[in-house]
């Protein structure tokens, strides 16, 4: 409804564009808006901008999460029974449950005031960064795919292959410190890249839709890695019947940067480097230019002489490699005592939401990864201290993405002004185009 | 892989239109490859021993004694038959005819039988048990696939099948437990599926958000919501809220006593019988009714459909809702039909296998159903072979549906072409 209105507005008042330059003309053209001019336009620009929209989407999702928490709280349910005689009780119960949940979320993810000393207090932040590290890496991979108009849902498979390769190198070879880590890292990244590249290859050669192939490759990878994990002589720990690898050797483990007290490992700095690399790749390199061109309009890219199919292949290799890097972080940084088939921990799917929230821009993905890392770290402490299942984090995350994907909905909820009709038309055009491109 | 031969228009009194015949060699080649696999694996690397097949259940009207087949010899014979069928397919293509569906089905059945004979050498395979399990596993797949077929035929990609199944499973368990009435659970499951579909439809059609994004996010949302409510509400009150009464099996009098087919198809819960009706209804409605024609036109060429006065977006909205109802219904089978209570993420990727069945079934309800059955069979075969000890690691059996689908979308097995406007929003 709202989008249709937008387009109607743009049709009816095409002269709205020069509104800022001359106030008199604008008054004549728009009798509805009494105080139009530079300032109102600026306010509108800010309020309808994507940053505000992201913040509003997050706020809205957190509110919905709060409603869920309050509604399922037993104290709230009890007090609701006598709401009309003593409404204060219920309101207090609601406040207690929601504020308790979100304060433990904060204390689990940023800073814990209850712990003595700064070093102990800041531990949750380090935890957040640890959770954020693979999220950002995988998010970058998915975002890179988005920029080229490809939808990489194969994060799980690519992570599993990356983890399997890195883990295999890490526990079965004896190499000097540093070199071992480097080779394990490269092996994991290469394996992820290959698995992603397979989907790209299928897309390039046969036109098979990458959404379907990556979903299917997820399962193929899962069962394949599971088979390797449960087969003696492959990945299984010797002398064990469990589908689990032996522990990683010390020479291949990502070093902890702030001493043994903190989980945060060197991977976080690698991921900063990776973010910079993706930024450089997309914005400063020829290859990245081609990626973006293919993403904007494959036909135009083809006309300009680019080999679109080859770009699909390359982009899936890069995308898979970055997701594979997330798998490497999991086995060499987070879980170094040997891994099983659940090592991906759902990060492959979370990465999609991270990339969407970050609007497929490298540093945006970085920020989104930090936020979701905080949700994850805080979610665990929320579960431990308040008994609120960590699944609430999934709900909030997916809500955020849904709201971000539909700005008119958020605008309607918060009664925000509509964006400049010209911009709206552009967005609609872009969205329309994107929808065609992704299929 | 295909050659084009044109037969010139003959100059007769009647006007004969020029005909273009497309010969596709993909099917014979695929069948040939499978025949070669059969010869090499089952024949050359055959396993000696006897394979026993139990065919009758004690309740059957006509008792058929167990089959005892020498594994080696049987495999050779079946492999030869497979080669014959592949040759038949090649001949059909040579004379510019289509490879009929029944040929592929017979080939698949014989291949699977040969595989069973080979894998279970020296052991006993209870055929009815194997098939009953296969049907039971494919019920949600088939409902999901039918939902996917309707949605995609109307031009909306439904990745959210998984979410719809899960929502159906959760709500049906809850409602059936509270009301102690499984039928109420079924209705509630449909409502839940429709609600998920509403979100999908609203975002995809109204807000023109990329359909795949919405679908993926919806899956996460439903998994999170059901997981949260399960841990917070259902688990503490297990007996009150997560203890649904299950449907009893209904034995259809005469049909239920037919050997093999009887216990497999006609001694099932009401959900399965409704499934038969749904398959027939969707297949009929999609290709024989006005609604079906409109649905397909909206999915193939929305502009043309709009020109003749079909409301494209309304059509899509209601069709996606219908798909949601069907998938939600299928989700109820998890809780009211097979398992008996809700557990976290109990659909375990069934929605994605259903999606695979849609593609492998080439967006056709009957073929998608057959694909769903095949995938259910593969999954159940793995567990049966796991018990008797199979030469193939179970993981590879479980991988099969996905590998087959990759081959299908890559166009290596048959041709798979989605509806032309699938996944594209329609902006007037």
A218 in a structural domain: yes
Q: For residue A44, what pLDDT band results from cuts at 50, 70 and 90?
A: low
Cβ under 8 Å to A: B residues 261-300: none
Over range A291-315, report the average pLDDT. 92
In this predicted structure, what is the pLDDT of residue B124?
A: 81
Residues A167 and A225 in one domain: yes
Q: Which of A1, A212, A401 sits opposite B217 (nearest CB)?
A: A401
In this predicted structure, what is the pLDDT of residue B250?
A: 83
Alpha carbon distance A371, A363 (integer Å): 12
Q: For residue B415, what pLDDT band results from cuts at 50, 70 and 90?
A: low
Q: Distance (Å) from the C-alpha of residue B19 to the closest C-alpha of chain A?
A: 27
Beta bridge mates, B20: B6
In this predicted structure, what is the pLDDT of residue B175?
A: 93
Over range A84-109, report the average pLDDT. 85
pLDDT greater than 80 at residue A11: no
Over range A315-330, report the average pLDDT. 95
Q: For residue B160, what pLDDT band results from cuts at 50, 70 and 90?
A: very high
Contact across the interface for A395 and B225, Cβ inside 8 Å: yes
Contact across the interface for A208 and B406, Cβ inside 8 Å: yes
**Per-residue pLDDT tens over the stretch A103-134:** 888 888 888 888 887 877 888 888 899 999 99
Q: How far is CA B146 from its chain centroid?
A: 8
Contact across the interface for A402 and B398, Cβ inside 8 Å: no
In this predicted structure, what is the pLDDT of residue A45?
A: 62
Residue of B nearest to A437 (CA): B424
Residues A156 and A293 in one domain: yes
| Residue B221 touches chain A, beta carbons under 8 Å | yes
A225 in a structural domain: yes
In this predicted structure, what is the pLDDT of residue A423?
A: 54
Q: Distance (Å) from the C-alpha of residue A390 to the closest C-alpha of chain B?
A: 7
In this predicted structure, what is the pLDDT of residue A24?
A: 40
What mean pLDDT value characterizes chain A?
A: 82
Over range B317-340, report the average pLDDT. 91
Residues A180 and A289 in one domain: yes
Residues A146 and A99 in one domain: no
Over range A131-153, report the average pLDDT. 93
Greater pLDDT, A372 or A108? A372
Least confident of A166-175, A427-436, B295-304, B339-348: A427-436
Alpha carbon distance B192, B188 (integer Å): 6
Contact across the interface for B406 and A202, Cβ inside 8 Å: yes
| Residue B386 touches chain A, beta carbons under 8 Å | no
A132 in a structural domain: no
Residues of A in contact with B213 (CB under 8 A): 151, 352, 356, 401, 405
Residues A351 and A216 in one domain: yes
Structural domains in chain B, sorted by start: 2-6+23-122 (no CATH), 136-409 (1.10.3470)
Domain range spanning residue A412?
A: 44-108+374-439
pLDDT greater than 70 at residue A357: yes
Q: Distance (Å) from the C-alpha of residue B97 to the closest C-alpha of chain A?
A: 25
A232 in a structural domain: yes
Q: What is the number of structural domains in chain A?
A: 2
**Per-residue pLDDT tens over the stretch A383-394:** 888 888 888 988
pLDDT greater than 70 at residue A421: no
Residues A297 and A437 in one domain: no
| Residue B424 touches chain A, beta carbons under 8 Å | yes
Residue of A nearest to B227 (CA): A391
Residues A99 and A246 in one domain: no
pLDDT greater than 50 at residue A14: no
**Per-residue pLDDT tens over the stretch B252-288:** 887 877 777 888 888 888 899 999 999 999 999 999 9
* Range among A7-11, A205-209, A236-240, A340-344 with highest mean pLDDT value: A340-344
In this predicted structure, what is the pLDDT of residue A185?
A: 94
Q: Distance (Å) from the C-alpha of residue A27 to the closest C-alpha of chain B?
A: 31
In this predicted structure, what is the pLDDT of residue A21?
A: 41
Alpha carbon distance B350, B79 (integer Å): 32
Q: Which of A209, A399, A431 sits opposite B409 (nearest CB)?
A: A209
A124 in a structural domain: no
Contact across the interface for A212 and B395, Cβ inside 8 Å: no
In this predicted structure, what is the pLDDT of residue B328?
A: 94
A291 in a structural domain: yes
Greater pLDDT, B48 or A200? A200
The rounded percent of chain B whose pLDDT value lies above 70 is 92
Contact across the interface for A216 and B232, Cβ inside 8 Å: no
pLDDT greater than 60 at residue A382: yes
Residues A206 and A92 in one domain: no
Alpha carbon distance A356, B302 (integer Å): 28
Contact across the interface for B199 and A402, Cβ inside 8 Å: yes
In this predicted structure, what is the pLDDT of residue B330?
A: 93
Report the 3 state secondary structure along chain B. Answer: CEEEEEECCCCCCCCCCCEEEEEECHHHHHHHHHHHHHHHHHHHCCCCCEEEEECCCCCCCCCCCCEEEEHHHHHHHHHHHHHHHHHHHHHHHHCCCCCCHHHHHHHHHHHHHHHHHHHCCCCEEEHHHHHHHHHHHHHHHHHHHHHHHHHHHCCCCCCCHHHHHHHHHHHHHHHHHHHCCHHHHHHHHHHHHHHHHHHHHHHHHHCCCCHHHHHHHHHHHHHHHHHHHHHHHHHHHHHHHCCCCCCCCEECCCHHHCCCHHHHHCEECHHHHHHHHHHHHHHHHHHHCHHHHHHHHHHHCHHHHHHCCCCHHHHHHHHHHHHHHHHHHHHHHHHHHHCCCCCCCCCCCHHHHHHHHHHHCCCCHHHHHHHHHHHHHHHHHHHHHHHHCCCCCHHHHHHHHHHHHHHHHCCCCCCCCCCCCCCCCCCC
In this predicted structure, what is the pLDDT of residue B264?
A: 83
Residues of B in contact with A209 (CB under 8 A): 409, 418
In this predicted structure, what is the pLDDT of residue B263?
A: 80
pLDDT greater than 70 at residue A58: yes
Residue of B nearest to A403 (CA): B203
Among A10, A215, A232, most B C-beta atoms within 10 A, so best to mutate, is A215
Q: Distance (Å) from the C-alpha of residue B130 to the closest C-alpha of chain A?
A: 22
How many residue contacts between A and B have a Cβ separation below 8 Å? 158
Q: Tell me, what DSSP letter sits at residue A159? A: H
Contact across the interface for A206 and B352, Cβ inside 8 Å: no
Over range B161-182, report the average pLDDT. 92
Residues of B in contact with A3 (CB under 8 A): 206-208
Residues of A in contact with B211 (CB under 8 A): 435
* Range among B53-57, B146-150, B254-258, B373-377 with highest mean pLDDT value: B146-150
Least confident of A6-20, A68-82, A197-211, B118-132: A6-20
Neighbours of B73 (CB within 10 A): 12
A245 in a structural domain: yes
Q: Which of B210, B216, B233 sits opposite A72 (nearest CB)?
A: B233
Contact across the interface for A391 and B228, Cβ inside 8 Å: yes
In this predicted structure, what is the pLDDT of residue A3?
A: 42
Q: Distance (Å) from the C-alpha of residue B200 to the closest C-alpha of chain A?
A: 10
Contact across the interface for A72 and B229, Cβ inside 8 Å: yes
In this predicted structure, what is the pLDDT of residue A283?
A: 93
End-of-domain residue from the set A304, A326, A360 = A360
Residue of B nearest to A386 (CA): B232
Residues A280 and A202 in one domain: yes
Q: Distance (Å) from the C-alpha of residue B225 to the closest C-alpha of chain A?
A: 6
pLDDT greater than 80 at residue B27: no
pLDDT greater than 60 at residue A12: no
Q: For residue A429, what pLDDT band results from cuts at 50, 70 and 90?
A: low
- CB contact at 8 A, A339 and A331: yes
Over range A4-11, report the average pLDDT. 41
pLDDT greater than 60 at residue A15: no
The rounded percent of chain B whose pLDDT value lies above 90 is 33
**Residues of chain A by 3-state class (helix, strand, coil), percent to 5:** 75, 0, 25
In this predicted structure, what is the pLDDT of residue A19?
A: 38
Contact across the interface for B210 and A231, Cβ inside 8 Å: no
Strand B124-126 vs strand B50-54: parallel, antiparallel, or unpaired? parallel
Alpha carbon distance A403, A56 (integer Å): 9
Cβ under 8 Å to A: B residues 319-378: 349, 352, 355-356, 359
pLDDT greater than 80 at residue B346: yes
pLDDT greater than 90 at residue B319: yes
Residues A157 and A306 in one domain: yes
Residue of B nearest to A409 (CA): B207
The rounded percent of chain A whose pLDDT value lies above 70 is 84
| Residue B151 touches chain A, beta carbons under 8 Å | no
Residues of B in contact with A402 (CB under 8 A): 199, 203, 214, 217-218, 221
Residues A248 and A290 in one domain: yes
pLDDT greater than 70 at residue A430: no
Greater pLDDT, B80 or B1? B80
End-of-domain residue from the set A318, A337, A360 = A360
Residues A157 and A217 in one domain: yes
Q: Distance (Å) from the C-alpha of residue B303 to the closest C-alpha of chain A?
A: 15
Least confident of A335-344, B369-378, B399-408: B399-408
pLDDT greater than 90 at residue B59: no
Residues of A in contact with B218 (CB under 8 A): 398, 402
Greater pLDDT, B49 or A94? A94
End-of-domain residue from the set A360, A392, A418 = A360
pLDDT greater than 70 at residue B128: yes
Q: For residue A433, what pLDDT band results from cuts at 50, 70 and 90?
A: very low
What mean pLDDT value characterizes chain B?
A: 85
Q: How many residues does chain A have?
A: 439
Among B230, B343, B362, B402, most A C-beta atoms within 10 A, so best to mutate, is B402
ipTM: 0.79
Among B217, B230, B356, most A C-beta atoms within 10 A, so best to mutate, is B217
Q: Distance (Å) from the C-alpha of residue A45 to the closest C-alpha of chain B?
A: 21
In this predicted structure, what is the pLDDT of residue A205?
A: 85
A99 in a structural domain: yes
Q: For residue A157, what pLDDT band results from cuts at 50, 70 and 90?
A: very high
Greater pLDDT, B369 or A50? B369
pLDDT greater than 80 at residue A153: yes
**Nearest CA to B297 among B284, B315, B282?**
B315
């Amino acid at each position: 409804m709202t989008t249709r209105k937008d387009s109607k507005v743009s049709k009816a008042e095409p002269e709205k564009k020069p509104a800022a330059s001359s106030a008199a003309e604008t008054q004549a053209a728009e009798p509805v808006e009494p105080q139009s001019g530079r300032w109102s336009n600026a306010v509108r620009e800010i309020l309808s901008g994507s940053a505000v929209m992201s913040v509003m989407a997050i706020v809205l999702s957190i509110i919905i999460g709060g409603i869920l928490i309050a509604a399922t709280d037993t104290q709230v349910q009890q007090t609701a029974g006598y709401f009309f005689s003593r409404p204060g009780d219920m309101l207090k119960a609601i406040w207690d449950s929601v504020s308790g949940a979100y304060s433990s979320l904060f204390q689990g993810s940023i800073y814990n005031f209850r712990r003595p000393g700064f070093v102990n207090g800041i531990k949750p932040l380090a935890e957040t960064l640890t959770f954020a590290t693979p999220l950002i890496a995988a998010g970058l991979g998915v975002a890179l795919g988005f920029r080229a108009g490809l939808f990489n849902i194969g994060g799980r498979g690519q992570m599993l292959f990356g983890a399997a390769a890195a883990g295999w190198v890490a526990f079965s070879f004896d190499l000097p410190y540093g070199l071992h880590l480097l080779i394990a890292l490269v092996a994991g990244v290469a394996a992820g890249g290959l698995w992603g590249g397979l989907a790209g290859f299928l897309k390039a050669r046969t036109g098979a839709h990458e959404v379907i192939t990556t979903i299917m490759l997820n399962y193929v990878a899962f069962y394949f890695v599971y088979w390797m994990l449960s087969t003696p002589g492959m990945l299984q720990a010797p002398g064990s019947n469990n589908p689990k690898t032996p522990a990683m050797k010390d020479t291949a483990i990502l070093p902890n940067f702030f001493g043994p007290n903190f989980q945060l490992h060197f991977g976080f700095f690698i991921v900063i480097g990776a973010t910079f690399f993706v930024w450089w790749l997309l914005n400063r390199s020829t290859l990245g230019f081609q990626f973006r061109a293919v993403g904007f309009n494959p036909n135009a890219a083809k006309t300009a002489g680019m080999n679109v199919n080859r770009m699909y292949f390359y982009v899936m290799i890069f995308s898979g490699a970055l997701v594979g890097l997330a798998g490497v972080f999991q086995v060499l940084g987070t879980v170094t005592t040997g891994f099983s088939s659940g090592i991906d921990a759902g990060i492959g799917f979370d990465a999609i939401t991270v990339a969407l929230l970050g609007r497929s821009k490298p540093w945006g993905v970085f920020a989104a990864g930090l936020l979701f890392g905080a949700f994850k770290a805080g979610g665990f402490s929320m579960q431990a201290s308040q008994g609120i299942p960590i699944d609430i984090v999934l709900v909030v995350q997916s809500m955020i993405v849904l709201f971000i994907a539909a700005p008119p909905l958020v605008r309607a909820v918060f009664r925000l002004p509509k964006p400049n009709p010209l911009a709206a038309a552009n967005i609609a055009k872009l969205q329309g185009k994107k929808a065609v491109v992704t299929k | 892989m295909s050659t084009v031969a044109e037969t010139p228009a003959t100059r007769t009194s009647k006007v004969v239109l020029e005909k273009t015949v497309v010969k596709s060699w993909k099917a014979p080649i695929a069948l040939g490859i499978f025949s070669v696999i059969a010869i090499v694996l089952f024949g050359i690397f055959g396993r000696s021993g006897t394979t026993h097949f139990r065919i009758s259940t004690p309740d059957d009207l006509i008792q058929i004694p167990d089959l005892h087949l020498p594994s080696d010899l049987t495999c050779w014979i079946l492999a030869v038959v497979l080669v014959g069928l592949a040759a038949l397919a090649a001949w059909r293509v040579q004379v510019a005819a289509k490879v009929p569906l029944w040929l592929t089905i017979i080939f698949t059945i014989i291949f699977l039988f040969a595989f069973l004979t080979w894998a279970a050498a020296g052991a006993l395979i209870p055929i009815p048990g194997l098939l009953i399990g296969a049907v039971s596993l494919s019920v949600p797949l088939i409902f999901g696939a039918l939902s996917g077929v309707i949605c995609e035929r109307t031009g909306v990609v439904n990745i959210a099948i998984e979410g719809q199944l899960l929502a159906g499973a959760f709500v049906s368990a809850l409602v059936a437990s509270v009301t102690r009435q499984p039928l109420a659970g079924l209705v509630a499951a449909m409502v839940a599926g429709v609600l998920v579909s509403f979100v999908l439809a609203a975002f995809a059609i109204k807000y023109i958000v990329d359909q795949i994004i919405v679908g993926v996010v919806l899956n996460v949302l439903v998994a999170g919501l059901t997981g949260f409510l399960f841990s917070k509400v259902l688990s503490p009150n297990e007996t009150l809220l997560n203890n649904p009464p299950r449907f009893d099996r209904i034995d259809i009098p005469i049909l239920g006593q037919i050997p093999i087919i009887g216990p497999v198809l006609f001694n099932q819960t009401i959900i399965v019988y409704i499934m038969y009706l749904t398959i027939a209804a969707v297949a009929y409605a999609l290709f024989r009714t006005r609604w079906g024609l409109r649905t397909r036109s909206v999915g193939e060429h929305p502009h043309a459909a709009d020109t003749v006065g079909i409301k494209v977006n309304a059509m899509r909205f209601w069709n996606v809702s219908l798909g949601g109802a069907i998938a939600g219904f299928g989700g109820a089978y998890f809780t009211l039909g097979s398992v008996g209570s809700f557990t976290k993420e109990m659909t375990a990727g069934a929605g994605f296998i259903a999606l695979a069945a849609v593609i492998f079934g080439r967006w056709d309800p009957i073929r998608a159903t057959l694909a769903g059955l095949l995938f259910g069979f593969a999954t159940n075969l793995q567990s049966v072979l796991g018990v008797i000890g199979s030469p193939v690691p179970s993981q590879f059996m479980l991988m099969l549906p996905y590998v087959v689908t990759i081959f299908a979308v890559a166009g290596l097995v048959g041709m798979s072409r989605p509806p032309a406007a699938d996944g594209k929003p329609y902006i007037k």
